[in-house]
Structure 1
Amino acid sequence: MPQTPHLRLLRSVLLLLAGLTLDAAEDTLPFKVSQVPGGVAVVALRDQHQPRQVTYRGEPVLVRRSGTGWVAVVGIPLSAKAGQERIEVDGQPIPFTIHAKHYPEQRVQLKDARKVTPNAEDEARIAKEQVLMGPAWKAWPAGLRPALSFQQPTPGRLTASFGLRRIFNGIPRSPHSGLDIRAPQGQAVRAPAAGVVVLTGDFFYSGNAVFLAHGEGVVSLLCHLSRISVKEGQVIKTGDLLGEVGSTGRASGPHLHWSLSFNDARIDPGLFLRSRR
């Protein structure tokens, strides 16, 4: 339906008001807002009452009170394109903008060629693991409320940043969906925030891994561990031991890979690190 000049003017005013509200909201939130693929958007809901349902691409979205209103904290997948997107708030669309971002390239040489080009048996295993991982990424345990501020899970230097366009043994593969922290074999890996363990296991790419649900669709994956020290269903406090650094799965040496997911979208954990605020 074509828009009349009146409707276009009204829409522009509403977007401007949303932007003003958003600026105020960002000042009160304990993380960095980055409206790019792999980042986080904070969308003002322009309502003093908590909405019943907020979704993005069909997935429920975390909502927080900020100032006198409510905001949606939206994880933006790396696959998203720059331009206008929208969330659905109780069935009504609210637009927001995704800005373009260029991620650098990383070239990695692995001795185990199967971790780059899996054989048929490996592919069957990977498919089964993806079925297990799907619900873990979408976990929303009742009663858990994430703090939205995280501590680094293990001491060490960040060696591979989020979003890198990775090339293994000369073959392009999926972008890097987390942070890599270089650390010695056996160093303690601790919970970056409170949560509940929703999945553990030994996976083809991730090696020994722990999925930790922090609440409201916020989930951490900590992987390549040499040892897992927790069990599924275990309630975890910030700083609790999860396991030890290793090089299991697709890894060129001992390190910790940490992925963070909002509404089933992998986003940059560095945006939520207290040490980088």
Structure 2
Amino acid sequence: MKSKLLSRILRLALPLLLFASLTAGAAELPKESRVPGGIALVPVPGDPSNSLAPTVIFNTHRVAVVRRDDQWIAVVGIPLAEKPGELKLKVSTPSGTTEVPFRITDKSYRTQHLTIKNQRQVDPNPDDLKRISTETQRSDAALSKFTATDAPTLQLISPVEGVRSDSYGSRRVFNGQPRNPHSGMDIAAPKGTPIRAPAAGVVVEAGDFFFNGNTLYIDHGDGLVTMYCHLDSIKVKLGDRLERGDLIGTVGATGRVTGPHLHWGVALNRAMIDPALFIGMK
């Protein structure tokens, strides 16, 4: 009698265990917004029963791919500079390589006029420009990382409590001079406010940068890299492995700023994306 009961329990449990094995580790997806600075969730070819995801390339950078509802989904970061229209992914599977098109629409971002007290932060001198060039290379190397994982992390928590601005994508004018669009989220908070890791990851770059002040970069895997600028203090070092919620630094006003705040940047396949899409704000 006991053996029959056990057999029946196992028959009922096996489908649930199979379902759990297929969905275990499934990544939470960010919100889709097919505009410059947004994210496209694009179905791509590939055998969903195969644990090996297809390789997807966009603008020479590898793209995160997750399995959803018996199909593979490419989670594509769209650069702010992309023009509206049709874009293409290069998808490689054991069967070969193909192109998958998708379309994006336009989005208008506002213009911000800001006054900076230190004019060198607007018009750097020749020595400053050499420093900026070196720091730009360091930053690009960190933001371009793609560390493959079994379960991509694509949902984040806000790294700091504070007033979040909607300044992402805004065209910025410093002391009357146009500069590059704002590629992150500004979160205003008092100096010394703790900043915490929005997801597990590894510290891949840190230091004092000319424009960004005390700056930190975290690689979360699968092309998702976050950056933290204008910190008062950095509480971690290169190579540190972090868990979600770990203390990484404190809010400050270093670099080119108008007051204490955190500039939080999120890169996906090297494109700087609106961080709000990762924390359920849009």
- So what's the TM-score if we normalise by structure 1? 0.86
* Displacement of 1:80: 0.3
- When residues 44 and 144 of structure 1 are mapped into structure 2, their CA distance, relative to the original with a 3 A threshold, is closer
Assess if the C-alpha contact under 8 Å between 1:160 and 1:181 holds in 2: no
Structure 1 residue 261 corresponds to structure 2 residue 267: yes
Structure 1 residue 63 corresponds to structure 2 residue 65: yes
From 108, 124, 127, give the equivalent of 1:102: 108
From 185, 188, 207, give the equivalent of 1:179: 185
Structure 1 residue 270 corresponds to structure 2 residue 276: yes
- When residues 124 and 145 of structure 1 are mapped into structure 2, their CA distance, relative to the original with a 3 A threshold, is farther
From 118, 136, 141, give the equivalent of 1:112: 118
* Displacement of 1:144: 6.8
1:57-111 Cα offsets, whole Å, 9 max, x none, are 1110000001011010000000000000000001311000011000011111010
- When residues 145 and 222 of structure 1 are mapped into structure 2, their CA distance, relative to the original with a 3 A threshold, is farther
- Residue type matched to 2:194 in 1? A
Distance 2:166 2:33 in 1: 19
Structure 1 residue 82 corresponds to structure 2 residue 84: yes
Assess if the C-alpha contact under 8 Å between 1:145 and 1:214 holds in 2: no
- When residues 160 and 116 of structure 1 are mapped into structure 2, their CA distance, relative to the original with a 3 A threshold, is farther
Q: Quick check: 198-207 or 127-136, which moved more? A: 127-136
Q: Quick check: 85-94 or 43-52, which moved more? A: 43-52
Aligned residues with identical type, % of pairs: 44
* Displacement of 1:54: 0.7
Which residue does 1:25 correspond to in 2?
none
Distance 1:69 1:220 in 2: 28
* Displacement of 1:152: 0.8
Which residue does 1:188 correspond to in 2?
194
Matches within 5 A, 1:143-182: 143=149, 145-182=151-188
1:224-260 Cα offsets, whole Å, 9 max, x none, are 0000000010000111000000011111110000000
Distance 2:269 2:58 in 1: 8
Larger radius of gyration: 2
SS for the counterpart of 1:64 is strand
Distance 1:235 1:145 in 2: 17
SS for the counterpart of 1:270 is helix
**Aligned-pair Cα RMSD in Å:** 1.5
Distance 1:145 1:166 in 2: 37
From 104, 110, 121, give the equivalent of 2:127: 121
Which residue does 2:43 correspond to in 1?
44
From 218, 232, 241, give the equivalent of 1:226: 232
- Residue type matched to 1:159 in 2? S
Distance 2:190 2:243 in 1: 24
Assess if the C-alpha contact under 8 Å between 2:66 and 2:152 holds in 1: no
Distance 1:144 1:198 in 2: 20
Which residue does 2:34 correspond to in 1?
35
Distance 1:235 1:269 in 2: 22
Assess if the C-alpha contact under 8 Å between 1:144 and 1:216 holds in 2: no
Q: Which runs of 5+ in 2 are unaligned?
A: 1-26
Q: Quick check: 161-170 or 131-140, which moved more? A: 131-140
1:116-173 Cα offsets, whole Å, 9 max, x none, are 1111111000001112122201122354744211111110111352101111111100
- So what's the TM-score if we normalise by structure 2? 0.85
Which residue does 1:203 correspond to in 2?
209
Assess if the C-alpha contact under 8 Å between 1:207 and 1:224 holds in 2: yes
Structure 1 residue 132 corresponds to structure 2 residue 138: yes
Distance 1:73 1:168 in 2: 34
